[in-house]
């Protein structure tokens, strides 16, 4: 059981670290592009930092709050979809989204697996 909880906690922290990393990159002026993109990019960074805090909060009671992983997976799927749209629209070359897509897929796999495994624990009070 401890390994399942450790996997769950690793999911929270991997997501939180990724959120902070993306949030910081979103605030880098050279990545923010045109002036009209700076405000929405700042909003996106705020959401990323907030989601990181949500995942850290979930880590405080990993079994009780494992449900946080489900909307997190949904958000990652949305981010991956936005990246695919950007490539399909010609906004970005595919090479620009490959690293984040790999990271996103790995996070989805980790979070999904740890969520399912934690659900197999019969006594969540331990």
pLDDT in tens for each of the 126 residues of the chain?
789 999 999 999 999 999 999 999 888 867 666 777 788 888 999 999 999 999 999 999 999 999 999 999 999 999 999 999 989 999 889 998 899 999 999 999 999 999 999 988 875 554
The answer to whether the Cα torsion of 82, 87, 91, 94 is positive or negative is positive
What is the end-to-end Cα distance of the chain in Å, rounded? 9
pLDDT for 36: 76
Closest to 108 in 3D by CA, of 68, 63, 77: 77
């Amino acid at each position: 059981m401890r390994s399942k909880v450790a996997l769950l906690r690793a999911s929270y922290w991997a997501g939180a670290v990724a959120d902070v990393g993306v949030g910081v990159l979103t605030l880098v002026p050279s990545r923010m592009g045109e002036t009209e993109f700076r405000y929405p990019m700042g909003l996106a960074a705020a959401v990323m930092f907030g989601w990181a805090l949500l995942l850290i909060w979930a880590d405080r009671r990993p079994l009780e709050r494992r449900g946080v992983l489900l909307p997190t997976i949904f958000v990652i799927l949305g981010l991956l979809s936005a990246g695919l749209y950007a490539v399909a629209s010609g906004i970005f070359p595919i090479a620009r989204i490959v690293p984040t897509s790999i990271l996103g897929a790995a996070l989805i796999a980790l979070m999904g697996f740890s969520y399912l495994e934690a659900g197999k624990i019969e006594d969540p009070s331990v």
